[in-house]
Amino acid sequence: MKDKFVITIGREYGSGGGEIGRQLSKYFDIPCYDKELLTIVAKESGYCKEYFEKFDEKPLKVLSYFGYDANTSTLPINHQLFLKQFNLIQKLASEKSCIFVGRAADYALRDYDNVVNIFIHADFEFRRKRAIEEHGILSQKSASIVKKIDKERSSYYKYYTDSSWGDAKNYHICLDTGFMGIDEAVRIIIDFIERKYK
């Protein structure tokens, strides 16, 4: 690939967005940042990754204002984490081809002209089954967990971008993995990227 490019992947929980990011990473031999962003931000901030995980892609709650470290910032931890990831996404995208999964990366890179924004979705039952099989979620809790995480991601995206999560207008490609499968979704994205950035 001659040109530098960046892929952002928004995803419904259980739709396979993370798996698609990893497959694209392997195919194009470029880094994929998902939870890896937390590791980098935590290391730079002096917090442990596990601490940040509690706030990752979670909507701001009133009680969050009581969770900040007054020695470093007057912002709640949710905001600190969002801003640190926002700046890191822009920094990494400026340096090299890469892939970002979640974390409103499409919004962080909205002024970049070499970005392809993708949204991965699927029917509820497909996602519920994947939550059990791929994420180890207990069957009896799977439906409520899928709904809960989707609601958190939607609220997070709305809060920080003032746009609707999953709205096709925010993405270049929207793919239904429940309909086509994950491998076919990967093939379609690869074909698009190779045509656009060859």
Tell which phi-psi region holds residue 142, choosing left (phi > 0), alpha (psi between -120 and 50) or beta: alpha
For the chain, give the mean pLDDT: 86
Q: Determine what percent of the chain is predicted with pLDDT higher than 90.
A: 66
pLDDT tier, 39 (very low <50, low <70, confident <90, very high otherwise)? confident
pLDDT tier, 54 (very low <50, low <70, confident <90, very high otherwise)? low
Across the range 47-74, mean pLDDT stands at 49
Radius of gyration (Cα) for the chain, nearest Å?
Answer: 17
Cβ(175)–Cβ(117) below 8 Å: no
Q: Rounded to the nearest 10 degrees, how much is the dihedral formed by the CA atoms of 5, 122, 168, 185?
A: 30
pLDDT tier, 68 (very low <50, low <70, confident <90, very high otherwise)? very low
Q: Determine what percent of the chain is predicted with pLDDT higher than 70.
A: 82
Cβ(135)–Cβ(80) below 8 Å: no
Per-residue pLDDT for 179 more than 90? yes
